[in-house]
Amino acid sequence: MTQTTESRSRPRPGPRAEQEENTRSRVLGAVLEHGPVSAADLGEMLELTPAAVRRHLDALEQQRYIEVTMVRRPTGGAGRPARRYVVAPEGHAKLGDDYLEIATDALESIRRFAGPEALRAFIQERVDRLEEAYRPEVEAAGDDVADRLPVLVRLLSRDGFAASTNEVAIGHGERRTIVSAQLCQGHCPVRDLAARYPLFCELETELIARLLGTDVRRLSTQAAGAHVCTTHVPLARPTIRPGAGTPQAPAAGTTDQTTDHTTDHTTEEGRHD
């Protein structure tokens, strides 16, 4: 009997192909966690040669899992913007956003049959669960915002937010003073839901303020089209009372030294320069 083409088993990928795929997934994960990130930094993090990094980045870009963004160099002044890689929407989908259709239908049903207040209560309950889980560890770090922030970064990263921090400073050399930090979230598990229901972002921002005990300001969100969710966290302002609602605005005349998160110096939690 003649064996037909359909009956022949398809060859399985060899060990080399599997290794390539595993490395490519690591590169995608690193771009998610540290993006916007340079090819050189990726190579250093993953211990890959420049040629290997470029090969995987080119492949991921062709698959539309990542994309290039041009950012100002940290030193400022003249010069061409630097190439940095970030995860594209298709990349976020590959990393596990399969919930969207079912979750969107569920939220829309709540809004339609129970009303906007019921929808708010549903989203608030999710935020309250995060606060209940995070507060003991955050408060154990002490009252200083600078001590609480790294703990919050670790907890957010554990839950899939790919969090990191950037220092925002004024002055140079011995006169350099860190005045604030930027909390960056490279992945948002509810990104597409938040695009439709901004209340997710609003209540999460209030949660961050309560946990850190200081007023914060959301600079960008993935739900609104940014590559990273960025929250400005002042380190040299009066704190607010634990359990308070929306934080008070800074006193009149206070200068907010905020810069774009892609140009700041970075802490050990993330590499963005």
In words, the CATH class of domain 100-266 is alpha beta
- The second-level CATH assignment, the architecture, of 22-94 is Orthogonal Bundle (1.10)
Start and end residues for every CATH 1.10.10.10 domain found in the chain? 22-94
What is the pTM for the complete model shown?
0.57
Residue 3 pLDDT = 45
Q: How far apart are CA 184 and CA 165, in angstroms?
A: 6
147-182 confidence digits (pLDDT tens): 999 999 999 988 888 899 988 877 777 777 778 999
User: Does residue 241 or residue 179 have the better pLDDT?
Assistant: 179
What mean pLDDT, rounded, does the chain reach?
78
* Encoded tokens for 95: 């990393």
Sign of the torsion formed by the C-alpha atoms of 208, 210, 211 and 213: positive
Q: How far apart are CA 44 and CA 220, in angstroms?
A: 28
87-126 confidence digits (pLDDT tens): 887 777 666 555 566 778 888 888 888 999 999 999 999 9
Could you report how far apart the first and last alpha carbons of the chain are, in Å? 64
Q: Per residue in 231-249, is it b (16+ CB within 10 Å) or e — as a string? A: bbbbbebebbeeeeeebee
Start and end residues for every CATH 3.30.1380 domain found in the chain? 100-266
58, burial (CB in 10 Å: exposed 0-12, middle 13-18, buried 19+): exposed
Q: How far apart are CA 48 and CA 34, in angstroms?
A: 16
Say how far residue 188 (Cα) sits from the centre of its chain: 6
